[in-house]
Every structure is written in structure tokens, then in C-alpha cells.
Amino acid sequence: MQNSEVFILAIESSCDDTAAAVLHNDKVLSNVVANQLIHNQYGGVVPELASRAHQQNIVPVIDAALRKANVQKEQLSAIAFTQGPGLMGSLLVGTSFSKSLSLALNVPLIAVNHMHAHILAHFIDEEGYDKPEFPFLALTISGGHTQIVKVNSFFDMEIIGETTDDAVGEAFDKSAKILGLPYPGGPLIDKYAKEGNPKAFAFTKPKVPGLDFSFSGLKTAILYFIQKNKQANPNFIEENLNDICASIQHTIIEILIDKLKLAVKETGITQIAIGGGVSANSGIRKRLTENQYGWKTFIPKFEYTTDNAAMIGIVGYQKYLSNRFETSAVVSKARIQF
């Protein structure tokens, strides 16, 4: 088959979203995600419930992706799937399904590292979207990840900074929980922050050497701050919600920007590509697009920044072009070498 005729079915099931996408070369024909709302009532992802929901969702989601793309399964050139990192029970659903389908259709099987996919999502061909050039820096920020990666080429990248405890999305969600907001609280903090004063309250930024991050201290500081103020005024949260959210968001953004500044200084690279659910945050987007520091920033379409299968498909396509295939002995990996 010629390279201009590559059709990839991509499957992502690393955490709590069951997703499938069909790509024609580097263009997305369909990108379907079934979110698992069941976790909202527990304030976080429950692994066993996630695996069960993947089992229920995977066939309808793949079916919908093929139908929307108007592609028959016999036309597929390869099956790409998320090998890890992620929750083992969740990964197993996508991996097993992908292995079976590749055997049944007699097409190659491609294993994709979920973190590489968040970064390479920038190479999905979209009209009007400028792709970064190698080398660039990728900031991956979500509920599960916080990393700065130096990306030298499609398959050569190195982590130069990462969180030593909570991910930045957890910092948003746990702060929101302290304020009594429902899970996931990140988008709500963003919403209230828009009406608030970011300088109303000062939270100390953690002192972490180099390019690594730490967010657990901030969460504790916020908890003590709220407890103390509620003792003096039981309505403290209600009366100051916008200002509290704006101040928390401001502190988190400053932590990220400080590390990016250092990464640019250390590497001399000024192209910054962001990915992960937290890149939906309006404060972060505003700060990065203001171009205060002379950086060129890349922010993909929202549906390609949160967990999705199109990003798995674009890595699948690149791997297909360089014949990086797996045998059916391939296994899911909860932790995976970057």
C-alpha cells in the first residue's frame, strides 16, 4: 500500500476516557471519546469502575469512529493503541482489543506511548494550524501529567523537568475540592477566576531546584489558608470565591511560567508547545499567547489536548511510515520508559 493511502484506527483507554479515531495519513477523519461520568460522584477516577466502563464502551466507540470516518475496517492499514502509561485495567481493554483486531484483519499493530502522543498531537494536519519545528519544548499539563520535554524529532525526546508529586491538574482539582467545588474542579476555578483579583491573596510558590515541579505544598497551604479564614468568617469562601480562585490560578500559572523561562534559558529553544487538559485553562492560554517573552507558542485544538485517540493515531501514522510494528506478544505497561 502506498503511503498516501494510510488509514489508521487508533484506540486510547489509558485512564477514564474510551476513545477511538480514524486517520487518513496525518488528517483526522473521526475522533470519538466516551467520557466516564461515573467517577464524578467519587471525586476522582476509580480504577475498577474505569475498566468496567471501557469494556462497555469500546465496541460502540470504535464502531462510531469507523462510521463517522466512512471507512470500512477492511480498508485499515494498521491498528494503533495506547500501551501506557496509565491504569493497568484500563490499558488492558484497549490493548487486548487492538491485538485481536490486528490479528483478525491481518494488519500491523502499533504501540504508542501516551505521553509521546500528547506531544505529537501538534502534528495532526489541521487547516490553519502551524506545526512546531524540531527541536521544541513541550509542556504537558493534565490531571495525570506535568512534564517539560525537549523534543528533538518524532522519536527522540527527553524529559527535562517533571512533577515530584501532584500533577498540575490535581493541584487545580484538589484546591477546588477544598473550596467545596465538584470534581473535576479545574474548569470551575478557571470560570470563577475570570471575575476575581489574582493578587487578592498570596500563596508561596514552592522552591524546587531545576526544572522539576511540586504542587503538594501549595495544596496544603491552600487548605490551611481556608481553615484559618473560615474560623474567623464561616462565609469566607462564599464571599471571596472569585478572588480565591483567581489567586490560586495565578500562583499555578506563575509556577509553570517560571519553569518554562528556565527551560528556555537552559536549552536556548523558544518554541513552546502545550498539551493536556489543563491547557484549556484560559489564564494559561492568555499568558502564553501574549508573547511577553518572544516565544512562539503552539496550542492545539481543545479536542486534541485532553485524552483522545487522534493523538494516538498521529504517532501511529509516523510509526507506520518507519515500520515500527509490534508482534502480538506486546503487553500493556502501567509505567513505561519514556
Which of 8, 9, 11, 15 binds ligand KG4 (CB under 6 A)? It is 15
How is the beta sheet containing 296-298 ordered, strand by strand?
Answer: 156-162, 146-153, 136-141, 271-275, 296-298
- Site residue total, Zn ion (CB under 5 A): 2
Distance CA 171, CA 294 (A): 28
- 281 is known to lie in a ligand binding site: yes
Query: Is 34 or 76 the residue whose CB approaches Zn ion more closely?
Result: 34
Stretch that binds Zn ion, among 35-43, 58-66, 248-256, 301-309 (CB under 5 A): 301-309
Judge whether 248 is annotated as a binding position.
no
Site for ligand KG4 in 136-165 (CB under 6 A): 142-144
Segment lying near ligand KG4 (by CB under 6 A), choices 20-28, 61-69, 70-78, 184-192: 184-192
Q: Using the CB atoms, write b or e for 181-218: b if 16+ within 10 Å.
A: bebbbbbbbbebbeebebeebebeebebeebbbbbebb
Among 84, 85, 108, 186, binds ligand KG4 (CB under 6 A): 186
Coil, helix or strand at residue 129: coil
What is the Cα–Cα distance from 48 to 124, expressed in whole angstroms? 32
Residue 315, CB half-sphere, CA atoms under 13 Å: how many? 30
Q: What angle do CA 97, 275, 256 make, to 5 degrees?
A: 140
Position closest to ligand KG4 via CB: 277
Rounded least distance, CB 140 to Zn ion, Å: 8
The beta strands (E) that lie in 41-122 are given as 78-84, 109-113
Helix axes 168-178, 216-232, angle to 10 degrees: 10
Q: Is 26 one of the annotated binding-site residues?
A: no
299 binds ligand KG4 (CB under 6 A): no
The yes or no reply on residue 307 touching Zn ion (CB under 5 A) is: yes
256 three-state secondary structure: helix
Residue 190: contacted member of ligand KG4, Zn ion, none (CB under 5 to 8 Å, by partner type): ligand KG4
281 lines the binding site for ligand KG4 (CB under 6 A): yes
Binding flag, residue 12, ligand KG4 (CB under 6 A): no
Q: Name the site residues for ligand KG4 (rule: CB under 6 A).
A: 15, 142-144, 169, 172-173, 184, 186-187, 190, 276-278, 280-281, 306-307
